[in-house]
Amino acid sequence: MNHSNSSRKIGFVAESDSSRGAERPIAVVSPPLATQSNALTVDVEDYFQVEAFAGSIKREDWELKPRRVDKNTDRLLDIFAEAGVTGTFFTLGWVAQRHPELVKRIVAEGHELASHGSDHYRADQQTQEEFRRDVRRSKALLEDIGGVNVRGYRAPTFSIGSRTAWAYTILAEEGFHYSSSVYPIAHDLYGEPDAPRHPFCPRPGFIEIPLTTVRIFGYNMPTAGGGYFRLLPYRLSRGALRKARQELGKPCIFYIHPWEIDPGQPRETSAPRLSRFRHYCNLAHTEDRLRRLLRDFSWSRVDRTFIDGAATLPLFESWLKPLSQ
């Protein structure tokens, strides 16, 4: 069953493209901030598929690695159920194919099923044709297994940026309604610090929800999870998230991977030191911190937080580079 043609209309008015290059904020009518949940997201992939190990683990060896994504995602689902929260699971096609029961559980427990692509190829390292095939295949697979419409996409390694604006056109053409693939920070593997920090329309009718950042000493600091959440003391992460929420005047978006709550995962000794530090830092503390985070803030799915019932968002094209450049 393919639901790509049964997509619901998203609840905002798309602006026309008449003033290309201009940022045009438009009055946004939304409920008071204090009553809005933040968006909780999971990138469903295994420990050997991360970008930090791309240089030391070959793709052809993925099949040889003991998989732990099923048990770890089940554990996350248990933790979410205990906390009474729902979120969005950006699920890799590779994982869905091998663990369809996981996809079914995600849907059955009220979470939003979304796509993390098929094989964890970065958007900015694929041709447009390859990207289209990758996202189309993942959407069809997830919809077949999950029996729901898949509207959201997160690029592996936050790899959509100002030079890959074509990805938004392809995602919209393939029936996606939103992406959460931009991280407005400076980082060696991803990110663009001059990217918009607020949700915006990169093209009419399509929404990008950048990962949450906070301004500190004139820089955008990551506040959305991942290695920083494991590295910093929990109280700092909580304070930064509160500050970001105030600054942005909008809900935040947070992400976690199943392998981040798994201190028992096999160690990849051949990877560079920095990669190992990033990947293994404080794995034993993450579950406890996550439980506190779920208690300290209110959480929901991305579609319910940012898409359904949303008012008009600004069309923002000035950051995107035209294809001719």
Query: Parallel, antiparallel, or unpaired: how do β-strands 112-115 and 88-91 relate?
Result: parallel
In the complex, what is the shortest distance from the CB of residue 45 to Zn ion, in angstroms, rounded to a whole number? 5
In degrees to the nearest 10, what's the CA dihedral of 66, 70, 71, 72? Answer: 100
Q: Which residues partner with 153 through β-bridges?
A: 115, 179
Query: Is position 43 an interface residue for Zn ion (rule: CB under 5 A)?
Result: yes
Q: Which is nearer to Zn ion, 259 or 297 (CB)?
A: 259
Applying CB under 5 A, the span of 62-70, 79-87, 156-164, 242-250 interacting with Zn ion comes to 156-164
Applying CB under 5 A, the span of 30-38, 44-52, 69-77, 95-103 interacting with Zn ion comes to 44-52
Q: Which is nearer to Zn ion, 51 or 247 (CB)?
A: 51
In degrees to the nearest 10, what's the CA dihedral of 230, 231, 233, 237? Answer: -70
Instruction: Write out the two tokens for 48.
Output: 């050997």
In degrees to the nearest 10, what's the CA dihedral of 208, 211, 213, 219? Answer: -80
Instruction: Give the number of residues in contact with Zn ion, rule: CB under 5 A.
Output: 3
Query: Is position 156 an interface residue for Zn ion (rule: CB under 5 A)?
Result: yes
Instruction: Write out the two tokens for 225.
Output: 């999870």
Applying CB under 5 A, the span of 10-18, 38-46, 184-192, 231-239 interacting with Zn ion comes to 38-46
Q: Return the number of other C-beta atoms located less than 10 Å from residue 107's C-beta.
A: 16
In the complex, what is the shortest distance from the CB of residue 97 to Zn ion, in angstroms, rounded to a whole number? 16
Q: Return the number of other C-beta atoms located less than 10 Å from residue 194's C-beta.
A: 11
In the complex, what is the shortest distance from the CB of residue 246 to Zn ion, in angstroms, rounded to a whole number? 29
In the complex, what is the shortest distance from the CB of residue 156 to Zn ion, in angstroms, rounded to a whole number? 4
In the complex, what is the shortest distance from the CB of residue 138 to Zn ion, in angstroms, rounded to a whole number? 12
Q: Which is nearer to Zn ion, 43 or 317 (CB)?
A: 43
Decide: helix, strand or coil at residue 133. helix
- 184, 158 contact by CB (below 8 A): no
Q: Which is nearer to Zn ion, 43 or 268 (CB)?
A: 43
Applying CB under 5 A, the span of 4-12, 39-47, 133-141, 216-224 interacting with Zn ion comes to 39-47
The beta-strand segments (E) located in 159-258 are 178-179, 200-203, 206-208, 213-216, 219-222, 253-256
Residues from 101 through 120 that contact Zn ion (CB under 5 A): none
The footprint of Zn ion (CB under 5 A) covers 43, 45, 156
